[in-house]
A and B are shown apart, each in its own frame.
Chain A
Amino acid sequence: MFPAKLEYYRPEKLSGALELLDENPGLIVLAGGQSLIPALKHRRTTPRGLVDIGHIRELQRIERVGNKIRVGSLITYATLLNNETIASKQPVLREAASQIADPQVRNVGTLGGSLCWSDPLYDMPAVMHVLNSSMIIAGKDGERRVDAGSFFKHPFRTTLRPDEILKEVEVPVKSSSEGYAYHKFRKGSGGYSITGAASYISIGDDGAVSNCRIAVTAPPSNAYRSAKAEQWLIGKKVSAQALEQAAELAAGELKSTDPYRASWNYTNSVLTGLIVLSLKTAHQNASEAEG
């Protein structure tokens, strides 16, 4: 298999890439290519050409700015696994990356590329939701910010315009009273998620949950956040029963499943367990840091 005929441009700078996109409608951005190249080979997408941003240095940085970390959109999963700042300041990115695809794909696949692809089978959108991350998007008229909550529109659709490029993803530095976690259930090693659960818990001085976020990887729909479960859990002391109840509320909001992969009942029951597990891990991560 090979793609249909393509134009190809290899700019060295972000400004050059933006100009190319602006002046040549029909060009799309190539990052690591681990989603796009298979789609080109199957000819599910047949763009006029590619703007290969793989050589742009300014998109390959991980930078701490105050209590935020800015992750360049070209940062690969392998880098998320090996980076010091990520390991110490926001380890959930490392945890999630370790569960994605296989080593070769992780060596090339980028965080930004997978987010822009907005594939409901992918894990990072749910993680972005619980991190409350911001997408920093570059366009010809400057930069704009979009919250994870409004970045993903539909499966394979984001709010990114064709002439824009996702530049960085901004995530918070984890504080000592906070914990995050992501757990997924997949078919086979390196397989896509049947479902997955991302959690964030912040513990107040009184030992109760002062804030929390729960997000679910829910193919064939995009990842969703369960406001109902979050509101229910806030203010409660963490107990097995409380986590179970929150998990049931969040899993109940699962819309549909792909029946060729797993039924709704099956997915719902696996998901409830995964949410409990991720809330537990997040809670552990929050209390561990206290000591």
Chain B
Amino acid sequence: MLVRTRFKVNGGDVDLNIEPRRLLVDVLREDLNLTGTHVGCDTTNCGACTVIVDGKAIKSCTMLAVQADGRDILTIEGISSKGELHPIQRAFIEKGGLQCGFCTPGMIMTAYWLLSQRTDWSEGELRRMLSGNLCRCTGYRGILDAILYAEELMKKR
């Protein structure tokens, strides 16, 4: 059984006939070649597959692609514009918010969602809101610094 599914990814229209059992992350990576979204644990824990669906951060390993019908999806590839990195991406580089980089797309998408909700996050709040994103190398210090710095950069814009 194939199910016609239409949604937006990073502003562009997608129209696919999809096998219902396929996960959103797999369709993003394999069919749309958007390999910036990573599969880490594949068990709804690590958050490396975080993308934004209708303005909310979700784990794309735990959503079927057919569920995305009619929705608006933003992935890591969609946050930079005209070849220029998004302030959150710049902040991760400047503050050393990564080592191996595997968790980074998920971290950045969660940060993107949080900073789109409101500003002036305290470090404690950010720690709690990052509980769905695991990093196994940095100890999170650089990541928190990067998000706090990104908030400053975005205020200046």
Contacts and interface: CB of A to CB of B under 8 A. Distances in A.
Contact of A102 (B3, B21, B47): B47
- Residue with the greatest number of chain A CB neighbours at <10 A, chosen from B22, B67, B69: B67
A41 B20 contact: no
Contact of A190 (B56, B66, B131): B131
A104 B110 contact: yes
A78 B62 contact: no
B100 interface: no
Contacts of A101: 132
B42 A4 contact: no
A38 B56 CA distance: 20
Contacts of B62: 33-34, 37-38, 105, 108
A6 interface: yes
Interface string B120-142: 00000000110110000000000
B64 interface: yes
A104 B67 contact: no
B103 interface: no
Interface string A1-41: 11111111010000000000000000000100110011011
B20 A49 contact: yes
B70 A4 contact: no
Interface residues of B, number: 29
Contacts of A140: none
B151 interface: no
A52 interface: yes
Nearest to A40: B21
Given A2-B23, A38-B43, A107-B56, A189 B64 contact: no
A214 to B, nearest CB: 28
Interface in A93-129: 101-105, 107-108
Given A78-B56, A104-B47, A108-B58, A2 B132 contact: no
A155 to B, nearest CB: 20
Contacts of B67: 30, 33, 52, 54
Interface string B49-70: 0100000111100111011011
B44 interface: yes
B21 A5 contact: yes
A114 B43 CA distance: 17
Nearest to B23: A2
Contacts of B128: 189
Given A103-B57, A108-B62, A189 B42 contact: no
Contacts of B59: 104-105, 108
13 contacts: A3-B21, A10-B69, A33-B64, A33-B67, A34-B44, A34-B62, A38-B43, A38-B62, A101-B132, A103-B131, A104-B132, A105-B132, A189-B131
Interface of A: 1-8, 10, 30, 33-34, 37-38, 40-41, 49-50, 52, 54-55, 78, 101-105, 107-108, 189-190
